[in-house]
Structure 1
Amino acid sequence: MRIALSILIILIFSSCSKENKLLAPVKYKGKYGFINTKGNWIIEPKFDSVGIFYNGYADYYIKGKSGLINQDGEIIIPAKYSFIGNVESDLALVEIDENYNFSDLNDNLISDISFYDVGDFSENLVPVQFKDDGKWGYMDVTGKMKIDTLFDYADIFKNGNGLVEIGDLEFLIDTTGTIIDTVVSPGLRYKKYRVTGNADNGTLGKVSMNRDTIMPNKYSSFGYVQNDKFWFKQNGKFGLADNLGQILIQPIYDELSYFSDNGLARAKKNGKYGFINEKGKTVIDFRFEDVGGFKYGLAKAKNNSQWGFINKSGEFVIEPKFDRIGHQFRPTNAKFESMYEYERNY
């Protein structure tokens, strides 16, 4: 019984160390570390710089060299590389003398040679380019070349298919390197709207695919569509319009972001930052030196040259005492995560 209880306790503590924590990278008294949403140090500030957590690991820098830590702050790979990338398939991309290789989590390079360029791992294969002839092939997670360097370009695999180029032709190959299809250029993607005019002289406009005018040619910039709305810039000021071209918020802001998942957008007016809703109502007063967007109920905010985190009422829940906040809170086990959700193709 005691043995079973001891094993259970060990398993609990092991699982705690791998839990998906919400952490933010912050700079305090010249050094970087990570805090949780209560403002407590999870990883003490001892690094010259840090990145974000991805798949449970984050890059860090000391004296210009990069290494890898886990979510408990333990050094997995010492700081000895010019660059270290995200961990995929328990491997991290590393840069050595302007060439690339992959390191496992025991700090061992998986290939005897380094590459001129590489892509990302997908389906346990990664596209790699040799410097001598510029050709691309695919390497597996053990460092062995699985598909020979025959291609002028090679992309990642999706659903067992990889896109490659030979001369002016594109092909789909399977994971053995066998060509299974010739790719026909799909041409222009379907878009609901088209931008016309020139941004440099403030003559941008929007028309439908039937060439009906949505926005006349008098703007200098448009944002992506988000919930059938988008920001626009006119005469140096930002406002909000809908997909029919109706102006929802007049261009009165020096800056305007996309809307966070709590319905608030970061805005700047008269030199100060605050937050507005989609109707243009000020929800958090314009009193901050700078702010970031909301994520997981918190937004970074700056007052008196120091950074902290505020809630949706505009109150500091983590006092402004940091030199810098590198990124909003995000799960340590997450992969890529967008700050805002919007339509990139419209």
Structure 2
Amino acid sequence: MRKIYAILSLVLLTVVSSYAQELALVREGDRFGYIDKSGNYAIEPQFKKAKSFSNGLAAVEKDDKWGYIDASGKWAIEPQFDKVKYFDSGIALVNKDDQWQYITKSGEVLDVPATDKYYDFNDGVAIYRKMDKVGLLGTDGKLVAEPAYESIKKFRNGHAKVQKGVYWGMINNKGEEIIPAEYEEIGNTYHPAGVYAKKNGVFGVVADGTFHPVEGADKVWNFHGDSGLTYARKDKKVGFVNSKGEWVIAPTFDKARAFSGGLAPVANGKLWGYINDKGETVVDFKYRDAEIFAENGLAPVKEKRWGFIDKTGNLVIPMEYDITAGLAFLKGAEEKGFVDGMARIKSKKGWGFLNEKGELLGNKWFENAEPFVSVK
């Protein structure tokens, strides 16, 4: 029996440690270090310059050269570079002796075809430029897609908008054309519910291979999260449309943001409130600004400063803070407020993190603090 308990304890410990390992870059005094979600230092402040973890490694500087450390603070790649970028898809861009090159997490140089410009890897691919055309490069250093486009934008959700001639479409990270390049404009974020686009001067939604015009719209925004609705503008007013381009909530608001957790922040005049997917007011219009709800059911709202409400409109955390997404490209740069149970906030005392009860992590403020990221 003791042996069974021991095995179960070991398994549980392994699962917890692999799941919970997230670190945040913080600056205390003139040195950077990394804290865990208990607020304790996992890596003591010791670096004059440092970056957040990405793909399990963090770039730090020593003696005017950059290298990468692992989650224990040990060197994974010795400092030898003049400039470095974040790892993505297991590859990072580094500059040594005025030459850019790709390296793997073991520090090996990735052999790639000659290129006119180097781009960061993103979602398993990097843009590859040859003269005035761009294609895609894979993590094995081979071309995924030959240079055939005028422009390829940042990959999001495994897809990117591309320009061919004067028109725009969308490809996946295998180089396959998901939406043909036949639109004057197209959204920069793929979503199963659809992608907004403009064709023959008309705004609409591309879903299931079909362009659905949105009657009277002069702008449509990206779909977000698990909602089948996105917001659109008509005659200077904003409402919500579905994948077929149909108005589900009439355009009567002055501003709006995406639905999340069944509610969307909208503005009447200068005041913000929240509506449900029937267009009914759930939280009264009384805030100077409002963001979408996080998975924990809390949303940032602002009067003079920011606080957090629940879905009934009750103020859970007082309006005493500033919020920002920070350099949270790994977590989704648009996310403000709570991310994975922690909210990055600022006060007159500095930067810190709040839990869902409004308690300051580690009861400590820092000169700077970046969002928590996985170190797996």
TM-score by length of 2: 0.63
RMSD: 4.4
The Cα of 1:275 is off from its aligned counterpart by 1.5
| SS of residue paired to 2:69 | strand
The Cα of 1:263 is off from its aligned counterpart by 1.0
- 1:55 is matched with 55
1:257 to 291, 305, 328: 291
Change (3 A) 1:49 1:212: same
Distance 2:70 2:121 in 1: 21
Distance 2:352 2:25 in 1: 12
- 1:189 is matched with 206
Question: Structure 2: which amino acid aligns with 1:94?
Answer: V
The Cα of 1:67 is off from its aligned counterpart by 3.9
- 2:117 is matched with 116
Distance 2:306 2:163 in 1: 48
- 2:211 is matched with none
- 1:323 is matched with 367
Aligned ranges for residues 91-240 of structure 1 at < 5 Å?
91-95=91-95, 100-111=100-111, 113=114, 115-118=116-119, 120=121, 126-130=126-130, 133-137=131-135, 139=137, 141=139, 143=141, 152=150, 183=180, 185=182, 188-190=205-207, 192=229, 195-197=232-234, 203-206=236-239, 208=241, 209-211=245-247, 214-216=250-252, 219=254, 221-240=255-274
Distance 2:86 2:60 in 1: 10
- 1:241 is matched with 275
| SS of residue paired to 1:318 | helix
- 1:308 is matched with 352
Question: Structure 1: which amino acid aligns with 2:321?
Answer: E
- Give the conservation status (yes or no) of the 8 Å contact 1:87–1:93: no
- 5+ long unaligned stretches in structure 2: 1-10, 184-196, 198-204, 208-227, 324-335
- Give the conservation status (yes or no) of the 8 Å contact 2:231–2:258: no
Distance 1:48 1:189 in 2: 48
Structure whose alpha-carbon radius of gyration is higher: 1
- Give the conservation status (yes or no) of the 8 Å contact 1:23–1:36: yes
- Give the conservation status (yes or no) of the 8 Å contact 2:61–2:79: no
- 2:333 is matched with none
The Cα of 1:213 is off from its aligned counterpart by 5.6
Change (3 A) 1:319 1:117: same
- 2:85 is matched with 84
**Share of identical aligned residues, percent?**
21
Change (3 A) 1:30 1:251: farther
TM-score by length of 1: 0.68
Change (3 A) 1:237 1:79: farther
- Give the conservation status (yes or no) of the 8 Å contact 2:40–2:362: no
* Larger RCO, structures 1/2 (Cα 8 Å, 6+ apart): 1
**1:307-327 alpha-carbon deviations (Å, 9 max, x no partner):** 333332223341123112111
1:273 to 300, 306, 310: 306
Change (3 A) 1:119 1:300: closer
- 5+ long unaligned stretches in structure 1: 1-11, 334-346
Question: Structure 2: which amino acid aligns with 1:323?
Answer: E
The Cα of 1:230 is off from its aligned counterpart by 0.7
The Cα of 1:244 is off from its aligned counterpart by 2.3
Question: Structure 1: which amino acid aligns with 2:373?
Answer: R
Aligned length: 303
- Give the conservation status (yes or no) of the 8 Å contact 1:231–1:239: yes
Question: Structure 1: which amino acid aligns with 2:23?
Answer: L
The Cα of 1:110 is off from its aligned counterpart by 2.5
Distance 1:30 1:44 in 2: 12
